[in-house]
Structure 1
Amino acid sequence: MPIQTAIPYGPRVGAVFEFEVCVKLSAIKPAFWAKDHHLDRMTLRELWIAYFQYPAIIGYLLCAAIAIGLFFRYPAPVLPTAVAIAVSVFVYPLVWYCLHRWVLHSRWMFKVPFLAATWKRIHYDHHQDPNRLEILFGALHTTLPTIALATAPIGYLIGGPGAALAAFATGLITTCVYEFFHCIQHLAYKPKRKWVMEMKARHMAHHFHDERGNYGITNYFWDKLFRTYYERIDKDKKSETVFNLGYTPEVAERYPWVARLSGGVAVGHPSQRIPH
Structure 2
Amino acid sequence: MSGTLNNQSLKTGRSFDLGKMNLKQLWVAYLTYPTILLYFALVVASIVAAAHFFAGWSATLVSIVAVILVYPLAWYLLHRYVLHGRLLYKMKWTASLWKRIHFDHHQDPHLLDVLFGAPVTTLPTIAIITGPIGYLIGGWGAAATAFGTGVAITCIYEFFHCIQHLNYKPSAAWIQRMKARHVLHHFHDEDGNFGITSFVVDRLFGSYYLDAKARPRSPTVFNLGYDVQEAKRFPWVMKLTGSPPRDRPDGARTSTAKPSTQHAA
Please indicate, yes or no, whether the TM-score normalized by the shorter chain is above 0.5. yes
Instruction: Work out whether residues 130 and 143 of structure 2, in 8 Å CA contact, stay in contact via their aligned partners in 1.
Output: yes
2:159 alignment partner in structure 1? 180
Which of 183-192 and 260-269 deviates more? Answer: 260-269
Unaligned runs of 5+ in 1: 1-29
**In the alignment, is residue 58 of structure 1 matched against residue 45 of structure 2?**
no
Larger RCO: 1 or 2 (CA < 8 Å, sep 6+)? 1
Unaligned runs of 5+ in 2: 1-8, 255-265
Paired letter, 1:188 = N
Structure 2 Cα separation of the partners of residues 212 and 254 of structure 1: 23
1:95 alignment partner in structure 2? 74
Structure 2 Cα separation of the partners of residues 118 and 240 of structure 1: 23
Question: 1:121-200 counterparts in 2 under 5 A?
Answer: 121-200=100-179
- Count of paired positions: 246
Structure 2 Cα separation of the partners of residues 198 and 181 of structure 1: 12
Over 4 Å off, 4+ runs: 272-275
Please give the secondary structure, in 1, of the residue aligned with 2:110.
coil
Structure 2 Cα separation of the partners of residues 209 and 155 of structure 1: 38
> Deviation of residue 272 (structure 1)?
7.5
Please give the secondary structure, in 2, of the residue aligned with 1:206.
helix
Instruction: Work out whether residues 22 and 168 of structure 2, in 8 Å CA contact, stay in contact via their aligned partners in 1.
Output: yes
Deviations 1:122-162 (A, max 9, x none): 00000000001111000000000001111111000001110
* TM-score, reference length from structure 2: 0.89
1:211 alignment partner in structure 2? 190
**1:264/1:271 Cα in 2 relative to 1: closer, same or farther (>3 Å)?**
closer
Please give the secondary structure, in 1, of the residue aligned with 2:32.
coil
1:270 alignment partner in structure 2? 249
1:227 alignment partner in structure 2? 206
> Deviation of residue 59 (structure 1)?
1.1
Within the candidate set 189, 214, 218, 1:239 is matched to: 218
2:48 alignment partner in structure 1? 69
Paired letter, 1:226 = F
Deviations 1:8-28 (A, max 9, x none): xxxxxxxxxxxxxxxxxxxxx
Please give the secondary structure, in 2, of the residue aligned with 1:204.
helix
> Deviation of residue 55 (structure 1)?
1.2
Please, what is the CA RMSD of the aligned residues? Answer: 1.8
> Deviation of residue 53 (structure 1)?
1.2
Deviations 1:37-83 (A, max 9, x none): 10111010100000011111111111111111111111111001100
Question: 1:114-125 counterparts in 2 under 5 A?
Answer: 114-125=93-104
> Deviation of residue 232 (structure 1)?
2.6
* TM-score, reference length from structure 1: 0.86
Structure 2 Cα separation of the partners of residues 274 and 238 of structure 1: 16
Structure 2 Cα separation of the partners of residues 186 and 273 of structure 1: 10
Please give the secondary structure, in 2, of the residue aligned with 1:241.
coil
Whose helix fraction is larger, Structure 1's or Structure 2's? 2
> Deviation of residue 273 (structure 1)?
8.9
